[in-house]
């Protein structure tokens, strides 16, 4: 999965499963990835738009939803801001956790101290795990979503076995 800059044109990266190999340590899946349409198409000016595509490998018809460039950029920025805020929250939660962990507690007040340490530990874990994850995946959002299979009768189905968006 690569990072794509969001501009006024979009490209759908559609993967069609080629093979699956089951091994003793895991499963290896090979994909044939096609970038459709060649050269890109203009994004919608307002609102989301449903776009029909055909898998070049197996000739099945699909539809995807394409967002406006502004909406896709906003989602990407929000994800980056949330990731940085969660990482910066570690500057508060870790020192408080260290301070709370080093204090002695009276016998009658031990339940409140344990609850405080548990809350701080949970907040620190969320900041340490979710923050970098949001930052790492923020660039992967490029405004193409909701892959749907188009049946012979024209109805959409979420059952897209053997296909995925990259």
Is position 44 within any domain?
yes
Task: Specify whether 62 is located in the same domain as 89.
Answer: no
Residue 1's pLDDT is what? 42
Residue 7 CB contacts under 8 Å (≥ 6 apart), including other chains: 69
Residue 111's pLDDT is what? 78
pLDDT digits (tens, 9 = 90+) for 91-149: 999 999 998 877 776 776 677 778 888 999 999 999 999 999 999 999 888 899 999 99
How far is Cα 122 from Cα 90, in angstroms, rounded to an integer? 11
Task: Specify whether 155 is located in the same domain as 105.
Answer: no
Residue 70's pLDDT is what? 92
Task: Specify whether 134 is located in the same domain as 86.
Answer: yes
Is position 2 within any domain?
no
Is position 114 within any domain?
yes
Residue 40's pLDDT is what? 83
DSSP conformation letters of 39-85: EEEEPPSSS-EEEEEE-TTT--EEEEEE--HHHHHHHHHHHHHHHHH
Is position 4 within any domain?
no
How far is Cα 54 from Cα 78, in angstroms, rounded to an integer? 32
pLDDT digits (tens, 9 = 90+) for 44-84: 999 899 999 999 999 999 999 999 999 999 999 999 999 99
Q: Does the predicted TM-score (pTM) go above 0.95?
A: no
Residue 113's pLDDT is what? 78
Is position 21 within any domain?
yes
The residue range of the domain holding 117 is 72-138
Task: Specify whether 27 is located in the same domain as 76.
Answer: no
Count of the separate structural domains present in the chain: 2
Q: Is the per-residue pLDDT at 3 higher than 70?
A: no
Residue whose tokens read 């508060």: 92
């Amino acid at each position: 999965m690569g990072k794509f800059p969001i501009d006024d044109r979009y490209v759908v990266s559609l993967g069609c499963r080629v093979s699956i190999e089951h091994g003793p340590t895991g499963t290896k899946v090979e994909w044939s990835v096609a970038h459709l349409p060649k050269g890109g198409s203009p994004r919608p000016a307002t609102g989301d738009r449903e776009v029909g595509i055909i898998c070049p490998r197996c000739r099945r018809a699909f539809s995807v939803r394409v967002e406006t460039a502004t909406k896709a950029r906003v989602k990407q920025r929000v994800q980056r801001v949330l990731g940085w805020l969660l990482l910066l929250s570690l500057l508060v939660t870790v020192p408080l956790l260290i301070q709370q962990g080093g204090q002695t507690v009276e016998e009658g007040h031990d339940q409140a101290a344990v609850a405080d340490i548990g809350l701080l530990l949970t907040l620190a874990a969320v900041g340490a795990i979710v923050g970098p994850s949001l930052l790492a995946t923020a660039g992967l959002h490029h405004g193409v979503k909701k892959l749907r299979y188009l049946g012979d009768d024209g109805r959409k189905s979420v059952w897209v076995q053997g296909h995925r968006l990259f």
